[in-house]
Chain A
Amino acid sequence: MILDWLLPVLISAALVLALAGAIKRVNLWRAGQPDSVNLIAGLMAMPRRYLVDLHHVVERDKYMSNTHVATAGGFVLSMLLIVLVHLFGLESRWLAWALLASSVLMFTGAVFVFRRRLNPPSRLSKGPWMRLPKSLLMFSASFFILTLPAAGILPEDFGGWVLALILLVGVAWGLSELVFGMTWGGPMKHAFAGALHLAFHRRPERFNGGRSTGLKPVDLQARVLGVEKPTDFKWNQLLGFDACVQCGKCEAMCPAFAAGQPLNPKKLIQDMVIGLAGGSDAKFAGSPYPGVELGHAVGGPGQTITEGLVNPDTLWSCTTCRACVEECPMMIEHVDAIVDMRRFLTMEKGNTPNKGAEVLENLIATDNPNGFDPGGRMNWAADQNLPLMSDVKEADVLFWVSDGAFDMRSQRILRAFVKVLKAAGVDFAVLGDEERDSGDVARRLGDDATFQSLAKRNIAVLNKYRFKRIVTTDPHAFHVLKNEYGDLGGHYEVLHHTTFINELVQLGRLQLDTFKGGTVTYHDPCYLGRYNGEYDSPRDLLKALGIELAEMERSGFRSRCCGGGGGAPITDIPGEHRIADMRMEDARAVGAELVAVGCQQCTAMLEGVVEPRPQIKDIAELVSEALIEGAPAARAAVAEEVLS
């Protein structure tokens, strides 16, 4: 029969083509900048990263995780056995039966893929992805039938010419989609690039339950600062872009996309793929950037990204809330890429939109974003009698006040927190005028030079004094101090005020009345939750106040951004809605009369929503209102045994 000699030829041809495609693809990635990755260790860790870490993310969608396990597992197994049975011609009933089983498994999975594609949600890309389930079915069915004779179920010459021809078409289709399509840029590319992406991930700390969210510092002596062309990315970032499955989970979570701003994380990653491989976005089969027509974006490895491929507005729409990264089943780092490109726009082009330039200039000249007198940093606490680090030199807790010191609304949060600290008898001090902006905004706006300058000076001040931990009411400063000062030599134990107050309550150092009021919901700040994994302390604290939370649909790791991160209120890219309004809708949907927050930025954004709306209060304010003061039992016992 014709298939006896043609089948091995087809399989070998597919494998050779796949290899050629792989070499071509690898060379595209190698055009990127070097990054130190332990290749061997990465490859060794890859199966675990795939089967455990990645599976945890995919498992949030049970339907898809089961489907994927069946389809991908069935395919990998089938492919191995196909090589043994049909290419090397090993005549073993056992192998043939195993191949039958694996192709049935794959076929079953493919049926569910097919069903998902019958009425696909808008976040999924169409185009070649609509073909994929058919290819999967074709591949598994063809090889199932082909293997029947080898398993001894059917006679060798069963079916004759007609069936042989049909099977030939099926095999050719299946092999081209699933084998060399993998390295030539078809939908199956995600398997090839994805596996290597997991192995050579730029943030290996993310695996095994770890967390890595701090941005990487820029080498300020580099030839070009930030990313101008696709080849300015690290090679493993380029590899990461290629791993995208276009599932659109990022798109579904992106606050900027929902607000109609011209950003879609999925499209952005696909634009990066266009950039690294060359071409245009005419064939992109997913949702475009809101308000931007498809087909006009053109790019190539050596071309400036923001001239033709991606509009700068797209990059400035991002609030760096990390919802896309958290959701991505391929663990792609969208935010890193966006900030890398912003760095070029700010540090090389001097093109930060709207108030960006002014804010950066203020940060350089006055160490705060609004150009206030740096000598007025303690004016808010004129009546608070706060101990200054420059006087006391040593304290248990260093209270990092942050730029909230200059904002009247934030000052209420700061005062509330001071009241709590005093009630608990905490030994604390502040830096006063020696404190500077943490550098968060400068860094997210792409000005790493200013970030590094601020950070280094802050570190120099912090290193003058002795303290056990830093506590701050600002999650942005919290993140930067905790996760980003390390690269510049500042290593501290940093706590968010909700964590710290919760600790005080657990220790019995604070006595709290029960909260009297209506329905309360809690808004997770991105930089506290997704960036630092702190979801529990604020909730425990609210529980200690006797509050039964009405959780919003998007809460915890899926919390929706308030719109205030990443310098987004400064660059202020227009959209159809305001992100803060959408967030307030979430709160209204659960009938909340009060939104508890843990961030002055979120407070500002949410209070910017027009009335009538739920009230906004920081948890520090709620705690300070519920304090039963002068409860001596709570205060006296403490002095020694705490905070060590």
Chain B
Amino acid sequence: MTSDLNIVALVSIGQHPKSGRARRAEQDARAVELGMRLAGDNVQVLHAGDAAEETLRQYAGMGLKSLRVLQQSPQADAVVALGDYLAEHRADVVLTGVRAESGESSGMAPYLLAEKLGWPLVTRIADIVSIENGEAQILQALPRGQRRAIQVRLPFVASVDMAAQVARQSAFGPGRRAELESLPWVETPDSERAQFKEAPARKRPKRLKKVKATTAAERFKAATAKSQGTGGRIIKDQPPTEQAQAIFDLLLEEGVLR
């Protein structure tokens, strides 16, 4: 569409939810996909971390000639390095995922970057429809497949939602051939994160749906029917004591309070 634009997609090392294995992160890959559809292989894909990380080749396998890596140790704060780099190098659009699959996974990276650069941030976008005269037409993803049309002036940061076009297949050959350009970069230790302790998440107990079905058809319906949110009550105009009582009753009913 506009190949003279400088579009940067930021990528991280993802983690498969079942195997825990490193992979290309789903949202970041969508950011690369969106960038590639806007700028072909002129899109610049940027990673702050280790250039020797083989997983980066899964992004490269989407058809990138090269991938730039700001060399950082695992203890470093990637956001600082990325912010410094983007402040130095002209970029028109910076695309990120909404939230990383590994590490802190706080979803703060796009906010911190936008703040640092002083650019607008558009969260959870589904598509960039067009970029003309320094202004982008963007579709923001809302729940239930709704979209909000947004206009924003360049440059800006956008986080790419899962509703965006799914990333193209990664091919082994181009991935292997792509150049991983390693750029030595100043490291800022992440003092906050150094104090974190990581532990596997505990599985939360899930309430089982009681299905009083006698026929296969009923069971099928129960398994596939969308929850209608029945049983809820809207309490708006009652006095606060009544409202509190209603909440209390619900908590008792749900077994939260005993």
Indicate whether A and B interact: yes
Q: Which residues of A contact B (CB under 8 A)?
A: 220, 224-225, 346-352, 356-357, 360-361, 364-367, 371-375, 447, 449-450
| Residues of B with C-beta under 8 A to A224 | 173
8 cross-chain CB contacts under 8 A:
A348-B171, A348-B174, A350-B63, A350-B174, A361-B169, A364-B58, A366-B16, A449-B172
A356 / chain B contacts, CB cutoff of 8 Å: 169
With beta carbons under 8 angstroms apart, the residue of B18, B23, B62, B173 that contacts A348 is: B173
Residues on A with beta carbons closer than 8 Å to the beta carbon of B23:
361, 364-365
Our pick among B18, B21, B169, B176 for the contact of A350 (Cβ within 8 Å) is B169
| A365-B16, A366-B16 known; A347-B21 Cβ under 8 A | no
Answer yes or no: B61 CB below 8 A from chain A CBs: yes
Given contacts A366-B16, A366-B19, A372-B18, 10 further A-B contacts (CB under 8 A): A220-B172, A346-B171, A349-B171, A350-B61, A350-B168, A351-B171, A352-B169, A357-B169, A364-B58, A366-B21
Q: For A373, list chain B residues within 8 Å (CB).
A: 18-19
Within 8 A of A (CB), among B87-127: none
B172–A347 CB distance below 8 A: yes
CB distance from B124 to the nearest CB of A (A): 23
Q: Which residue in B19, B169, B172, B176 is a CB contact (below 8 Å) of A365?
A: B19
- Bound CA span A352–B19, Å: 23
Does B170 lie at the interface of the complex (its beta carbon under 8 Å from any beta carbon of A)? yes
Main SS class of interface, B? loop
- Residues of chain A lying within 8 A (CB to CB) of residue B18: 365-366, 371-374
Query: Which of B18, B63, B174: most chain A Cβ within 10 A?
Result: B18
Q: Please, which residues of chain B bring their CB within 8 A of the CB of A360?
A: 169
**Quick one: closest A residue to B19, CB to CB?**
A366
A367 partner, pick from B19, B62, B170, B171, beta carbons under 8 A: B19
Q: How far is the CB of B129 from chain A (nearest CB, A)?
A: 25
**What's the Cα separation between A346 and B173 when bound, in Å?**
9
How far apart are B168's CB and chain A's nearest CB, in angstroms? 6
Query: What distance in Å separates the Cβ of A373 from its nearest Cβ neighbour in chain B?
Result: 4
A360 to B61, CA, bound (A): 13
> CB within 8 A of B171: which of A350, A372, A374, A375?
A350
Docked CA distance A349–B145 (Å) = 31
**Cβ of B199 to closest chain A Cβ, rounded Å:** 17
Q: How far is the CA of A225 from the CA of B61 in the complex (A)?
A: 13
- 1/0 per position for B3-39, CB-CB distance to A under 8 A? 0000000000000101101010000000000000000
Contact with B173, one of A347, A352, A364, A365 (Cβ below 8 angstroms): A347
> What is the distance, in angstroms, from A20's C-beta to the closest C-beta of chain B?
40
Measured CB to CB, the closest approach of chain A to B118, in angstroms, equals: 37
B173 and A351 contact, CB distance less than 8 A:
no
- B169 contacts which chain A residues (CB < 8 A)? 346, 350-352, 356-357, 360-361
Given contacts A350-B62, A365-B21, contact A225 B16 (CB under 8 A): no
Contacts of B174 in A (CB 8 A): 348, 350
Contacts of B19 in A (CB 8 A): 365-367, 373-375
Contact A447 B21, beta carbon cutoff 8 Å: no
Give the distance to chain B from A569, nearest Cβ to Cβ, in Å: 18
For B61, the closest partner residue in chain A by CB is A350
> Which residue of B has the minimal Cβ distance to A453?
B172
Interface residue from B58, B62, B172 paired with A447 (Cβ < 8 Å): B172
Shortest beta-carbon contacts, A-B, top 8: A350-B171, A357-B169, A350-B169, A449-B172, A365-B16, A373-B18, A348-B173, A225-B173
Task: Report Cα–Cα, A519/B196, bound state, in Å.
Answer: 67
Give Cα A68–Cα B16 distance, bound, in whole angstroms: 60
CB of A611 to closest CB in B, whole Å: 15
Is A225's CB under 8 angstroms from B172's CB?
Answer: yes
Which of B23, B173, B176 gathers most chain A CB within 10 Å? Answer: B173
Closest to A364 in B: B23
| Minimum distance in angstroms from B7 CB to a CB of chain A | 20
Chain B residues with Cβ below 8 Å from A450 are: 172
Q: How far does the Cβ of A3 sit from chain B's closest Cβ, in whole Å?
A: 62
Using Cβ atoms and an 8 Å threshold, which residues of chain B touch A449?
A: 172
Contact with A along B161-188 (1 / 0, CB 8 A): 0000000111111101000000000000
Tell me the bound Cα distance from A617 to B58 in angstroms.
Answer: 41
Cβ contacts under 8 Å, B170 to chain A: 350, 361
What's the nearest-Cβ distance from chain A to residue B160, in Å?
A: 18
**Which residue, of A346, A347, A356, A372, has the highest number of chain B Cβ atoms within 10 A?**
A347
Which residues of chain B are near A364, meaning CB under 8 Å? 23, 58
A364 to B19, CA, bound (A): 10
Distance between B106 CB and nearest chain A CB, rounded to angstroms: 23
B16 touches A347 (CB 8 A): no
- Shortest beta-carbon distance from A572 to chain B in Å: 16
Q: Which residue of B lies closest to A349 (CB)?
A: B171
The chain B residue with its CB closest to the CB of A346 is B171
CA distance A372 to B21 in the complex (A): 13
Q: Which of B19, B23, B63, B172 has the most CB of A within 10 A?
A: B172
- Partner of A220 from the list B16, B58, B168, B176 (CB cut-off 8 Å) is B176
Closest to A373 in B: B18
Within 8 A of A (CB), among B38-63: 58, 61-63
How far apart are the CA atoms of A371 and B21 in the complex, in Å?
12
Minimum CB distance partner of B24 in chain A? A361
Complex CA distance for A357 and B168, rounded to whole angstroms: 8
- For A357, list chain B residues within 8 Å (CB): 168-169
B55 to chain A, nearest CB (A): 10
CB distance from B149 to the nearest CB of A (A): 30
| Complex: chain A residue closest to B171, CB-CB | A350
A372-B18 Cα distance, complex, nearest whole Å? 7
Chain B nearest CB from A527 CB (Å) reads 25
CB-defined contacts of B62 to chain A, threshold 8 Å: 350
Question: Taking the nearest CB of chain B, how far is it from the CB of A342, in angstroms?
Answer: 12
List the B residue with the shortest CB-CB distance to A353. Answer: B169
Residues of A within 8 A of B63 (CB): 350
How far, in whole Å, are A365 and B171 apart by their CA atoms in the complex?
Answer: 15
- Which residues from chain A contact B176 at a C-beta distance below 8 Å? 220
Rounded to whole angstroms, the CA-CA distance of A348 and B176 in the bound complex is 10
- In the complex, A357 Cα to B18 Cα: how many Å? 18
Interface-centre pick from B16, B62, B63 (highest chain A CB count, 10 A): B16
A367 / chain B contacts, CB cutoff of 8 Å: 19
A349 cross-chain contacts in B, Cβ below 8 A: 171
Closest Cβ neighbor of B15 among chain A residues: A365
A352 contacts across to B, CB distance below 8 A: 169
- The chain B residue sitting closest to A224, CB to CB, is B173
Instruction: Please give, as numbers and ranges, the residues of chain B lying within 8 Å of A371 by CB-CB distance.
Output: 16, 18
Chain B residues with Cβ under 8 A from A374's Cβ? Answer: 18-19
Complex Cα distance, B176 from A220, in Å, reads: 9
Query: Which chain A residue shows the least CB distance to B176?
Result: A220
Nearest-neighbour CB distance to chain B for A529, whole angstroms, equals 32
Q: How far is the CB of A570 from chain B (nearest CB, A)?
A: 13
Q: Which residues of B contact A361 (CB under 8 A)?
A: 23, 169-170
* Most-contacted residue by chain B among A352, A372, A449 (CB, 10 A): A449
Within the assembled complex, what's the spacing in Å between the Cα atoms of A350 and B32? 15
Chain A residues lying within 8 Å of B171, measured Cβ to Cβ, are 346-351
- Of all chain B residues, the one with the shortest Cβ separation from A449 is B172
Report the nearest B residue to A350, measured CB to CB. B171
Q: What is the chain A residue whose CB lies nearest that of B168?
A: A350
Report the separation of the CA atoms of residues A123 and B98 in the bound assembly, to the nearest whole angstrom.
57
CA–CA, A74 and B68, complex, Å: 70
Residues of chain A with a CB closer than 8 A to B16's CB: 365-366, 371
List A contacts of B173 (CB < 8 A).
224-225, 347-348
Give CA–CA (A381, B173) in the complex, Å.
39
Give the CA-CA distance A347 to B176 in the complex, in Å: 10
